[in-house]
Chains A and B, each alone.
Chain A
Amino acid sequence: MLAFILFVLIIVVGTSGELCMGRAMRETGELERLHPGHAASLIWRAIRVKWLWIGITMMAIAFFSLLLLLSFEAVSMVVPVTALSYLVGALGGTFFLGERVSRQRWFGISLVCIGVVLVLLGK
């Protein structure tokens, strides 16, 4: 049961954290030019967006859940399941960020998911 809760935390909370980071960047603006100074000022502005901090907190929770889970479950069992985060990410992108995920992108994401599981099982 604890393992299941930790899996959910890692996949759902971890991916949600990244989605919040995406939301923060959307509110910050676009990287218009590939210039270090411009990039630094964009990151500096992002630091003052609350979504970034919500995201960082969620990613930290997911990270420590992963450490805890790895302390009693085998890596070979934990890591392949994390491939589900690609599907959770696409759902979050659709409903939280309002992205239009086309059928072609869904297909590609599903393939990536399967591929990652195969890579991790093949280790």
Chain B
Amino acid sequence: MLKHPHRKTYLLIGVMVVCGPIGNLLLAKAMRQIGNIRFWPPAELLATLPKIISSPTLWIGIVLLITFTVAYMLALSLADYSFVQPAAAMGYVIIAVLGVTVLKERVSLLHWVGIGVICLGISFIRGTDPRTTVSRR
């Protein structure tokens, strides 16, 4: 495998880009399936609780979001925040592509223009040094 100096950083950003948006989508989908959750009176919450914890969509979403957060932390141990945060906007591209290919959604022209501008922006960011500070340890 090619030993690129920033291989780990790119790989971790890749994990963030895939897990973050998909995790969010699944969580939103699960919440819509469950419907309105009432926290009061407690009996009401108790009644919906089994519905909440038995939703596989919810759990997969949570696992993906935890994976996203861990990858984010590890990426920040290697690269600048101002590099990782905007690079993770690649997630919007993944979501659009998934929407078109898997969910057969129609994506508006404005949306595609936005995707193009994000990609262009990320290519500029990619041309900069990912790490401009030194670790304190």
Chain A residues engaging chain B, CB cutoff 8 angstroms = 15, 18-19, 21-22, 24-31, 34, 39, 42-43, 46, 85-86, 89-90, 92-94, 97-102, 104-105, 107-123
Q: Which of A25, A34, A85, A108 contacts B125 (CB 8 A)?
A: A108
Q: A108-B86, A109-B86, A119-B115 are in contact. Are A21 and B128 (CB under 8 A)?
A: no
Interface size class on chain B is 35 or more
Smallest Cβ-Cβ distance to A111: which chain B residue: B121
Min distance, Cβ B35 to any Cβ of chain A, angstroms: 16
Docked Cα-Cα span, A112 to B77, in Å, equals: 23
Specify which chain A residues have a CB less than 8 angstroms from the CB of B46 in the assembled complex: none
Within 8 A of A (CB), among B74-128: 74, 76-78, 80-83, 85-86, 89, 92, 96, 107-128
Docked Cα-Cα span, A15 to B82, in Å, equals: 11
Q: Which of A39, A43, A110 contacts B121 (CB 8 A)?
A: A110
Smallest Cβ-Cβ distance to B83: which chain A residue: A105
Q: Contact: B121 with A31, CB < 8 Å?
A: no
Q: Which of B76, B82, B114, B123 contacts A117 (CB 8 A)?
A: B114
Smallest Cβ-Cβ distance to A59: which chain B residue: B69
Q: Which of A29, A102, A110, A122 contacts B108 (CB 8 A)?
A: A122
